[in-house]
Structure 1
Amino acid sequence: MYIHLGGEKVILSSELVAIFDISIEKSSKISKQFVSHAIKEKNVQRIGEEEAKSIVVTKSTVYYSPISSATLKKKANISFAI
């Protein structure tokens, strides 16, 4: 199954590792380090031009999505339930 992350970006649900609210980037030292490392390795993609509301981690890439983490989690649960 697929999960739409915003814009024209769609991922396979099997690639999904985690979905976080964007606020975790500011509140957690470990998440800051994780994102900094991903940026350094050029494994980060921003989706669209809107302000990011969530961070989606896949096996190969970290995405900044304009869709809220709650909405993405609902989409992910629907696809995992099928």
Structure 2
Amino acid sequence: MYIHLGGERIIRSSELIAIFDLSIEKNSKISKQFVLEAAKDKKIEIIGEEECKSLVVTVDKVYYSPISSATLKKRAVSLSVNG
């Protein structure tokens, strides 16, 4: 199964680790450090040109998505229920 993250980016649901609201990056030192390390390793991808609303962590990358974390979570849950 696949999850559409916005723009033209689709990931396999099996690669998904976590979906966060973007505010976590500002409010958590640990999250901020995690994102900085991913950026150093060039594992960050910004999807589209719209304002980013969520952070999607996968096995290989961290995506900044223009789709809200609530919507992405609903998509992931519907896949696990229907899949």
Q: Distance in 2 between matches of 1:32 and 1:4?
A: 25
Q: Which residue identity lines up with residue 35 of structure 2 in the other structure?
A: V
Counterpart of 1:60?
Answer: 60
TM-score when normalising by structure 2: 0.98
Q: Distance in 2 between matches of 1:4 and 1:46?
A: 14
Counterpart of 2:74?
Answer: 74
After superposition, the CA RMSD in angstroms is 0.4
Number of equivalenced pairs: 82
- Which residues of structure 2 form unaligned runs of 5+? none
Q: Distance in 2 between matches of 1:51 and 1:40?
A: 22
CA deviation digits over 1:40-74, x for unaligned, max 9?
A: 00000000001100000000000000000000000
- Identity among equivalent positions (%) equals 68
TM-score when normalising by structure 1: 0.99
> Offset of 1:5 from its aligned partner?
0.1
Counterpart of 1:35?
Answer: 35
> Offset of 1:8 from its aligned partner?
0.2
- Which residues of structure 1 form unaligned runs of 5+? none
Where does structure 1 differ by over 6 angstroms across 4 or more consecutive aligned residues?
Answer: none
